[in-house]
Structure 1
């Protein structure tokens, strides 16, 4: 799978809710109403990641969860990352504040 060019990533970003390209990855931080809401979202994302065999880096800070997507084996952002960002958007939906 080929690493996407900066232009390809930039073209995908408008369709991704709250995602940005930073430090070589797609990143989105989401503030949830409660700590447990954030943990539940992480659980659902983890299940989808296992199903897709493509796992985000996840950082949990109280009610704020940050997802980072990069295809480490390819050394950059690929279509797999864009697709997983869309999956995460569907999972978190309106749960985020």
Structure 2
């Protein structure tokens, strides 16, 4: 896409429809698509932040983050386009896929984080 072309931005109604169909745990609020991930501790919060940071840097599309001891809020909006674009939906989908990944459910040999031992608690899955 050339510098002179602007990316398509979606109306609020279009954003809500796409979120409902593609990212039901995300919401539109104050011009941003947002998702709050609940974690089990500061360790889990830092792991989510680092994961989002890696994905954002690889995508070269950077969200705003707010964090506390047991949660991280991710906010996406395309600053250059001044609205929600396909980049926001694509990055949100990748973040959702990676942060919510539960290998044990796939049955491919990875056991995943132990559920019963709180010493290893990481994220509170939906």
TM-score (norm 2): 0.72
Tell me which of 57, 60, 63 is aligned to 2:64. Answer: 57
Give 1:18's match in structure 2, choosing from 13, 17, 25.
25
Distance 2:31 2:73 in 1: 15
Partner of 2:79: 72
Q: Do residues 96 (structure 1) and 112 (structure 2) align? A: no
Root mean square deviation of aligned Cα: 1.3
Q: What is the SS of the residue equivalent to 2:52?
A: helix
Q: Deviations over 1:62-88 (max 9, x none)?
A: 111000000011111111101111011
**Corresponding residue of 2:55:** 48
5+ unaligned residues in a row in structure 2: which ranges?
A: 1-6, 103-122
Structure 1: runs of 5 or more not aligned = none
Q: Deviations over 1:43-64 (max 9, x none)?
A: 0111111111001101011111
Give the TM-score normalised by the residue count of structure 1.
0.92
1:87 to 82, 85, 94: 94
Residue correspondences, number = 97
Greater per-residue helix proportion: 1
More RCO (CA 8 Å, sep 6+) = 1
Find 2:9's aligned residue among 3, 14, 39: 3
From the two aligned structures, give the one with the greater strand fraction. 1
